[in-house]
Amino acid sequence: MTNYNIALIGFGGVNRAVAELIASKNDLWERDLGFRLNIVAVSDLHLGSVISPNGLDAKTLLAANFTKGGFGQLSGGSPEANNEMIIKKAPADIIVEATFTNPNDGEPAVSHCEWAIQSGKHVVTTNKGPVAFAAKRLKALAEAKGVCFEYEGSVMSGTPVIRLADTALAGAELQGFEGILNGTSNFVLGRMESGKLFAEAVKEAQELGYAEADPTADVEGFDVRLKVVILANELLGASLTPDDVSCEGISDLSGLDIENAAKSDSRWKLIGAAKRNADGSVTGSVAPKLLPRDNPLAGVNGATNAVSFLTELLGTVTVTGPGAGRIETAYALLSDIIAIHAAKTANNKEAA
Edge-to-edge strand list for the sheet holding 2-9: 77-78, 48-51, 35-44, 2-9, 94-97, 122-125, 149-150
Is 269 a known active-site residue?
no
88 CB-contact burial (10 Å; exposed 0-12 / middle 13-18 / buried 19+): middle
Q: How far apart are CA 99 and CA 80, in angstroms?
A: 16
Q: How far apart are CA 25 and CA 37, in angstroms?
A: 10
Q: How far from chain centre, in Å, is Cα 233?
A: 15
Phi and psi dihedrals of 309, rounded to 5? -90, 130
Q: From the CB of residue 281, how many other CB atoms can be counted at a distance below 10 Å? A: 12
- Catalytic, out of 227, 269, 275, 344: 227
Q: How far apart are CA 127 and CA 241, in angstroms?
A: 16
Phi and psi dihedrals of 67, rounded to 5? -90, -175
Structural contact between residues 127 and 134, judged by C-beta atoms closer than 8 angstroms: no
Ramachandran class of 315: left when φ > 0, alpha when ψ lies in -120 to 50, beta otherwise: left
Positions marked catalytic: 227
